[in-house]
Structure 1
Amino acid sequence: MKMQILALDGVFDTGLSAILDVFATANELAPMLPARIAPFDTRIVGMRRHVRTSQGFSVPVSGSPDPADPDWIVIPAIGYKMPETLVPALERRDVRDSGRMLRERAPGGNTAAACIGTFVLAESGLLDGQKATTTWWLVPLFRQRYPEVELEDSRMLVRSSAFLTAGAALSHMDMALWLVRQASPELAALVARYLIVDQRPAQSAYALADHLAHADPLVQAFERWAREHLAQGFSLDAAAQQLGASKRTLARRTQQVLGKSPLSFFQDLRVERAAHLLKTSSLSLEQIAAQVGYADGVTLRNLLRRRLGRGVRELR
């Protein structure tokens, strides 16, 4: 399977390395399996001859992308982590050229993008009408900039038509393992064991709700109100009245910024607070439940397991 790794100037060092390391490890381990698996042919390509990583290292670009190649073009993140630096970077000529190249690809060509690389892919317009995920802390910007994309930002990986998108930072490794899995599930499992990579089907457990809320003053104010009322319970009427906004406006803004209703966001904050107390305090589950507005510990235990899994730690 051929993999063209598209490295744009300022490529995220960890992302590029993770992708290359997964494919190199897969090639090294493949002979250990009884079935013959064709090696992964990885080639670093660029829109320019000279590319440097975000940390200043020179990238050995072998040439330009071949849009006629029917296999995969893989887009790692570029190292612009915040909107004020990312938005100007997306206007660069090499990013525009990469979008044009992707649009010119032959039918059947597949494209994968991880983390902020999903913005590069979305700039091409090819994700319009498709399902996708992106890095969790830039979800408000992604929704604003690409309203035609059906964003499923809680997921780590989303496959839609000819596109594969992955969430934040180390999702580069999840994405590369998914690509290996298409050739051999056994090989992907073996690579994951050697690299000690756990399954991470969702990135929602890592998201900081207050970081997302800060993208909008009204949503930020609602987040402060919600944290002050976790124990009392949710009331859209009370929240809207205290914030000086209509219920419809508050619901619309939380949906636009966070992709969820005020009640759903309120419940997320409850879970976040409960998980924090579970890890950092000696409070019992019953005591934690009372602090975040649940009637009993059993309800909270079930909710934590459903939302976060057992990875936080064994629930006491």
Structure 2
Amino acid sequence: MRIFVLALEGLFDTGLAVTLDALGTANGLAARFAGGKPRFDVSVLGMRRTVRTSQGLTVPVTVVPPGVKPDWVIVPALRAVTPDTLIPALARKDVQEAKARLLRWHAEGASVAASCIGTFLLAEAGLLDGQEATTTWSMAPLFRQRYPRILLDESRMLVPSAVGVTAGAAMGHLDLALWLIRQASPEVASLVSRYLLADLRSAQAPYIIPNHLAQSDPLIRRFEQWARARLREGFSLDEAAEALGASPRTLQRRCTAVLGKSPLAYFQHLRVEHAQSLLHGSGLDVEAIAAEVGYADGATLRTLLRQRLGRGVRDLRAELR
């Protein structure tokens, strides 16, 4: 499998390194335990002769001979943690050139893959229009507003589609690399996972910080503050809208546009987040925590925690031991 890794100026060092390390480990383990197959032929390409990472390291860039076509192109993330830094980066000349190169490779039959901020480059190129995708959860509001034709689900860690695959925040680079290895050989992917002490994660949901998402929109920020003060009470869309000086329709529309969920779903998300916090540090039993976040009993809370976080009460409490 021929893989091109597209390195751009100011990329996230760990994203590039973990991608190359996982694929390199796969080659080494395949040679020793699987008869040399599969073999990942990996080349790191750049739009310039020299590429420097966000930490100032120089990346050795390969010049690919004309006519060599990749099976996969991987786009590691740029190091941009806020919209104010990301939006100017997307307008850079080298990024625009990378978009054109991606479109050409895809037209020639290559699949495309990206993690974290790298997914924005695929979206900018229009490659994800009409496709399901994920991205780094912290930039999901911007992604959703900037690319309304993409079916975004930032709660998922990996989302395969007709054009390739997208992965979630920063360490999603490792999940992406393991996923690619698994497509070629589940046996080798299992070996790599064990050697690197890394498992595929199915979801970003347990890592999402709701109030970070709310900061991107003034109305949603005020809604979050209103909701947190009323977690023990029942939710009413009409009451929330009246308190915020907005119509129910406006609140519903802004929540969907910014958060990708209804006001009620976000309210429930905040309840689960607070319950998780109480499980970690309050010493309260499950019944008392359920009452604190507005649920009738502990059984309901247990079910919701497992559904939304993929872990039960015992697992969540064990995390801090």
Q: Confirm or deny a common fold (TM above 0.5).
A: yes
Cα RMSD (Å) of the superposition?
Answer: 1.6
Q: State the distance in 1 between where 2:121 and 2:158 align.
A: 17
Other structure's SS at 1:137 match: helix
**Counterpart for residue 101 of structure 1:** 101
- C-alpha displacement at 1:310, in angstroms? 2.2
Question: Could you tell me which residue of structure 2 aligns to residue 2 of structure 1?
Answer: 2
Residue 253, structure 1, aligned to residue 221, structure 2: no
Amino acid at match of 1:91: A
Letter in structure 1 aligned against 2:104: E
Contact 1:3 1:73 in 2 (8 A): yes
Residue identity (%): 59
Stretch moving more, 256-265 or 69-78: 69-78
TM-score (norm 1): 0.96
Number of aligned pairs?
316
Say whether residues 1:39 and 2:39 are aligned partners: yes
**Aligned 8 A contact 1:46 1:64 in 2:** no
**C-alpha offsets along residues 14-56 of structure 1, whole Å, 9 cap, x if unaligned?**
0000100101111111134355513211111011111000000
Mapped contact 1:47–1:65 kept (Cα < 8 A): no
Q: Aligned pair in 2 of structure 1 residues 35, 248: CA closer, same or farther (>3 Å)?
A: same
> In the aligned structure 2, how far is the partner of 1:66 from the partner of 1:176?
26
Alpha-carbon spacing, 1:66–1:308, altered in 2? closer, same or farther (3 Å): farther
Would you say the 8 A contact 1:108–1:162 is kept in 2? no
Aligned to 1:232: 233
- Residue 68 of structure 1 deviates from its aligned partner by 5.8
1:313: how far off?
4.4
Q: Does 1:140 align with 2:141?
A: yes
Q: How far apart in 1 are the matches of 2:128 and 2:115?
A: 13
1:76 aligned partner, one-letter code:
P
> Measured at CA, do residues 193 and 70 of structure 1 come closer, stay the same or move farther in structure 2, by a change above 3 Å?
same
> What CA distance in whole angstroms lies between the structure 1 residues aligned with 2:66 and 2:247?
53
- Match for residue 151 of structure 2? 150
Distance of aligned partners of 1:64 and 1:312 in 2 relative to their CA distance in 1, 3 Å threshold: farther
Once the two structures are superposed, residues 111-166 of structure 1 have per-residue CA deviations (whole angstroms, 9 ceiling, x without a partner) of 10110000111111111111111100101111111111111111101111122111
Cα deviation, residue 226, structure 1: 0.7
Q: CA distance change for structure 1 residues 142 and 246 in 2, over 3 Å: closer, same or farther?
A: same
Give runs of ≥4 in structure 1 deviating > 4 Å: 64-68
Structure 2: distance between partners of 1:252 and 1:124 = 27
Distance change >3 Å, CA 259–CA 314, structure 1 → 2: same
Instruction: Provide TM-score, normalisation by structure 2.
Output: 0.95
Q: Which runs of 5+ in 2 are unaligned?
A: none
Gaps of 5+ in 1: none
Aligned to 1:292: 293
Aligned to 1:122: 123
